[in-house]
Amino acid sequence: MASSQNKATHWQRTRNLTFVTLAIWFFFSFFVHWFGAELNTVSFLGFPLG
């Protein structure tokens, strides 16, 4: 049986990973789309970013 400390560590790491994943999702879902027109002025390998 896993100890109480191991369970707490597991859930702390799981919660942190969830927050990081949500932050990345939020960034790409909202900020990139809000600045789509401005990103069209920047090109990467000959293609616009927007």
Token digits for 50?
Answer: 């927007």
For the record, the structure tokens of 25 come out as 């999702």
Residues near 32 by Cβ (< 8 Å), separated by ≥ 6?
39
Q: Pick 3 or 11 by higher pLDDT.
A: 11
Query: With a threshold of 0.75, does the pTM exceed it?
Result: no
Residue 49 has pLDDT above 80, yes or no: no
| DSSP state at residue 1 | -
Three-state DSSP at 30 gives helix
Task: Please write the tens of the pLDDT for every residue from 8-46.
Answer: 999 999 999 999 999 999 988 888 888 888 888 888 888
Is pLDDT at 50 greater than 80 in this prediction? no
Question: Token pair for residue 40?
Answer: 């069209």
* Residue 1 confidence class, pLDDT cut points 50, 70, 90: low
